[in-house]
Amino acid sequence: MDNNFEDKTTEILNSRINAIQSKLEEHERKINLLLEEKTEKFSNNAWVKGATTTPSGASSLGEAPLPPSPTDNQKTGPSGFERFANWLKEDWLIKLGALILLIGLGWLVSYAFLNNWIGPMGRISMGIILGVALLTFGWWRMNEYKHQGGIFLVVGSTAILLTIFAAREIYGFFTPTTALIMMFLSTAFVALNSVKHDSRSLAISSLLLAGIAPLLTNPTGLTDIAWFSYLFVITAGAIWVVSLTGWRILTSFSLIMIALYSTPHFSCSLNEIVLLFAYAFVGMFFIVNMLGFLKLKAKTIGPDLFTAAGSGLFLIAWILAAAQDEWKSLIMVVWALVFSVGAFMVFKITQRKGPFFVYLAVSLGLLAAATAAELQGAALTIAYTIESGLVSILAYQVLRNVDIVKKTALLLIGPILLSFQSMDAYSWREGVFNEDFFVLLILAVTLLASGFFFLGEKKEGEKDSINIGAILFTIGTIFIYILIWLSTHALSFIENDTATTVSLFIFTVIGIGTYIKGKTNDVKSFRIYGGLLLFFVVGRLLLVDVWHMGLGERIFTFLLIGALLMSTAFLGRKKKEQINLNNN
């Protein structure tokens, strides 16, 4: 009995022990699998992050992208607020004592000023010493904390600028030139540190401080030559920084600064000498932009394009304001050649259209300004028309790129706008062949020729969202119709109603012919064009001429136009019937 009980107890215990061991083994196996999966994921992520030629989340062996780790989006370090809190916690008693000490010193200095314990010289010296101390501390701090050091540098330079301004305005201690040199040295120190520590924001701050400096030195005490000599030095320094760092936005800021300071000097007594500075500024910007376009092929060129366009406008403004009248047009043409040749060379080397179009626009602006300086009225419109046409021809001969040349057709917008005054000119009352007649004729021929050219160069099967050739051709025909209308009404031996009838007859014939040609040849654009022209004729008859024509002229015109329209029943059918017979 006892033996049986012991055997059963032993058997039960052994089974329980075996069950516990199997469960422990199973749990151990699961833990090992989890550890292996974690290790494998970690190694795969490390391999993916270390690969430089494969996309993020994919291995170099072509495996599927790995899912992002749950910790990928988590911050790897403390936030700015946490870093500031940690900085405050460290030696907080010393920092608190320093703050209390600074407040007490501030009150002591204020009390000393109020009781005249510290004279003017001492006050200015204290301000300059404080600014130098901040500059020195910022220079030292930037070795470990670039952002904090930059703040101290800007504050120190600002303190020096304000101190020297107070010395000039309140106590009259320094001459304008001396004050400007001292301010420049403080901003130059900031700029040098921006280059050394690769801080673009610090470089921009130094340029802004250097730009503000002349305003704090009693600008009326500086001559125009001194003003622009200082701006030239600042610009040269900014370009030097750009050459070392590639921060081309500094050139844009320099241009804006120069333009703002130049505006009050357009009417100065030495504007011819200042004009030479303007040439120097534009030349520097042009050279920097050309080198930037050649060197920075794969980067954005927004600041360079802004500088190119802005320097062109700056140059035109100074030439118009300061150059002698007999030399203005020649100077503009020379600069236009410089810009166009430089832009073409950059385009041939880099194949970048942006710089070419910007400097081409600047060159054309200079050419237009030169033309406006020499001509006016109808002669100016004719010159603009011829120039616009020649630009398209020369651009095609040089570039052999129709897509680029199409954009030059936009230049014809200027002559079109100027031609409006020729449509209502008094000369039409004196006869047909006047200067305004040739304005409209030359513009119409130029538009038609440009339209034919672009239509002929259109590739087979090409579908443009905007067909420049068709647009130019259509506008050219509109100017032909305007010319016909004005010419018939300018004839002295034809009454006004008769001239209207003749013009509408010509328009109707052209409209019917175009519509029939489009219908028989299945050309949709011809059908639309002819239909619109006929719609205009009928609309004018029913809305305008029916109220203004005499009864006899009205009857004749309506019968004539109606007969022409009804004659379309016998036109364009023979060819269509012949086609149907051939198909059968």
3-class secondary structure per residue, 346-392: HHHHHCCHHHHHHHHHHHHHHHHHHHHHHCCCHHHHHHHHHHHHHHH
DSSP state letters, 408-466: HGGGGHHHHHHTHHHHT-GGGGT-SSSHHHHHHHHHHHHHHHHHHHHHHHPPTT---SS
DSSP characters over 162-198: HHHHHIIIII--S-HHHHHHHHHHHHHHHHHHHHHTT
DSSP 8-state symbol, 401:
-
What is the distance in angstroms between the CA of the first residue and the CA of the last residue of the chain?
A: 119
Per-residue pLDDT of the chain (584 residues; tens, 9 = 90+): 555 555 666 666 667 677 776 777 776 777 776 666 655 554 444 434 444 444 444 433 344 444 444 444 444 556 657 766 775 676 667 557 656 765 765 565 566 666 776 677 777 787 788 888 888 888 887 777 777 777 778 888 888 888 888 777 777 777 888 888 888 888 888 888 888 888 888 888 888 888 888 888 766 656 777 888 888 888 888 888 888 887 888 888 888 888 888 877 666 655 677 788 888 998 888 888 888 777 765 566 677 778 888 888 888 888 888 788 788 888 888 888 888 888 788 777 777 777 777 787 788 888 888 887 777 788 888 888 888 887 777 777 666 666 767 777 777 888 888 888 888 888 888 888 888 899 999 999 988 988 888 777 665 545 554 677 888 889 999 999 999 999 998 887 888 888 888 999 999 999 999 988 888 888 888 889 988 999 998 888 888 887 878 888 888 888 888 888 888 766 655 554 554 545 55
What tokens were used for 504? Answer: 């509408």
Per-residue pLDDT, 16: 66
**How many secondary structure helices (H) and strands (E) does the chain include?**
24, 0
pTM of the model: 0.56
The three-class DSSP label of residue 491 is coil
Q: For residue 278, what pLDDT is reported?
A: 86
Cα–Cα distance list, 530 to 96, 135, 450, 505, 515 (Å) = 88, 78, 21, 14, 4
Tokens 């049986």: give the residue: 4
Q: What per-residue confidence (pLDDT) applies to 509? A: 92
Q: Is 451 within 8 Å of 473 (Cβ atoms)?
A: yes
pLDDT at position 260: 85
